[in-house]
Amino acid sequence: MGEHSSGSSRHQRHNHHRHRTYRDRSRSRDRSRESRHRHHRRRRGDKQYRDRSGESERGKRDDKTVLKQVEDKREAEEGESDEGEWVVTADTGDLYGNNDEEDQPVVEPEELPENKEAVDNTILNKLSASLMKAKMANDINKIKELESEYKRLCGNGHQNVSHQKSKVTIIDKRFAPSKPAEEDNKSSTHDPTIQEMLKEELETRGQGDWLDRRAAKQIGRDSGFENDVDYQADRAEELAKMTKEKEQNLRNRAIEKTRQLNSAIDDCMLCIDQEEGEQIKTAVIALGTRVYLCMAPEPSIAKGSSVIVPFDHKTNTLECDDDEWEEIRNFMKKLTQMWADQGKSVIFYESAVNRSMKKHASIVAVPLPRHLGENASGFFSEAILSADDEWSSHRKIIDTRKKAVAAGKYAFRSSIAKEAPYFHVWFDINGGIGHIVENTSKWPPGDLFARDVLGGILQLDPALIRKRPHWGSRKHSSYFEQLWNPYDWTKQIH
């Protein structure tokens, strides 16, 4: 029994020891396995890091290689462009590159042609005005001197200036029907130049909104019109044809206007040939560069009446540019001073009701006794209110004096459209009152309206008032020249 117990105990201790050894071995194997796993993970991590680092380094090397290749390619292209660039030499006309560089002669500054004198139109206008004045005075020596100088400047300096500007083929000095050759290569979306805008304005001058009305009429005829890109793409051929017809119509209108203008200039009593100084059909008193002063046609309303006239043939003074208006205002200022020193006031009026090509723009200056000139505004206002239709879409009286407080010298020019038939009277150089004539058939012809009002103020014979005046009379020119001589501002420019 005891032996059996001791044997059993030994057997249990042996089993326990065996199990503990097995557990220890298992734990050791587990630790060893975990250690190996950690080692493998570290090795894999190091390999992945090295792989990533290697890829980064390879990427950097590849980027540097690509950049170097791009730079090399760019340098090669620049080298090729330099080799393919040809320069025309100024002296021989040969291409720079056909021969060696040292074989090309160098043009020294002293070998270049002498620069010609640059002359603009203002200088030529002043010279032509002096030439006309010399012809009026019949000064033979001065005429020859001025003519030679004018021809020299036209042949030298003026050409030197004009060749730098864009060449435009024109019908005459006011209309340009065709485009220059270089314009064909321009994109249709390029910004227009000043010459192009001027050409378009001249071609459509006096047409008002004719082009807009024509376009609206064409759209009204098309029942399927849609204002979108698809419609324009589907109708591209037809729209191109319409555009071509429009350009041809504009050209035909410009040609017809040119013909009418040339015919009107030939018959005009106020046009003066600026270059030759001929066709002087009026009693000219003073010549500016763009505007001149002459005696009013006889019989005049008042002794000493004069007329301010632009050289260019225009239907009204609103078509004049800033340079012309500067000279117009100079004449108005000096006439106002002259008559003020004589104890009189002066009014200026323009009758631009007739829109015909034959009408030449002019402003008439009429001296009045000072006490009558102060009341002239009321006479003209009453006459305007009773002269035109009772109902009109425009204001009966356009008060440019009131607007002159803010607009100054631009009051008249900013109050009336140049396309409108109008009458305007100045009571000072900045403003007066104006009227747009809607029913031109009821308005008195010519300047009869102003003659009626002024004749009523001066209580003149109605037969004298309604007598048709004629240009060219020098009846009061000597009297006027004596008064004008101290105030003649044109002496400073001749």
Residues 113-125 have a mean pLDDT of: 57
- Residues 146 and 189: their CA atoms lie apart, in Å, by 47
Question: Among 48-62, 276-290, 305-319, which stretch is predicted with the lowest mean pLDDT?
Answer: 48-62
- Top pLDDT among 229 and 453 is at 453
Whether the per-residue pLDDT at 441 is higher than 60: the answer is yes
**What does the domain layout of the chain look like in residue ranges?**
2-85, 118-165, 284-493
Question: Is the pLDDT confidence value at 108 over 50?
Answer: no
Is residue 119 within 8 A of residue 157, CB to CB? The reply is yes
pLDDT of residue 329: 96
Average pLDDT, integer, range 316-324: 93
The region of weakest confidence among 14-18, 207-211, 464-468 is 14-18
Q: Which residue has the higher pLDDT, 477 or 166?
A: 477
DSSP class of residue 422 equals E
Q: Is the pLDDT of residue 121 over 90?
A: no
Q: Is the pLDDT of residue 421 over 60?
A: yes
CA distance 174 to 264: 14
Spell out the residues 6+ positions from residue 284 whose beta carbon is closer than 8 angstroms to its own: 132, 136, 272, 292, 293, 294
What is the model's pTM? 0.58
In sequence order, the β-bridge partners of residue 307 are 294, 364
Taking residues 18-41, report their average pLDDT. 60
186 versus 207: the higher-pLDDT residue is: 207
Highest mean pLDDT among 151-165, 189-203, 472-486: 472-486
User: Model confidence at 169, in pLDDT bands (50, 70, 90)?
Assistant: very low
49-53, 154-158, 329-333: which has the highest mean pLDDT?
329-333
Residue ranges of E strands in 275-358: 284-287, 291-295, 306-310, 344-352
> Of 64-73, 171-180, 227-236, 338-347, where does the model show the most confidence?
338-347
- Top-confidence residue, 153 or 319: 319
pLDDT tens track for 37-92: 565 556 555 555 455 555 555 555 555 554 555 566 555 555 544 444 444 443 44
Question: Given this model, what pLDDT does residue 114 score?
Answer: 43
Decide: 409 and 327 in contact? Cβ < 8 Å: no
- CA 166 to CA 199: how far, in whole Å? 12
Per-residue pLDDT, averaged over 110-116, amounts to 41
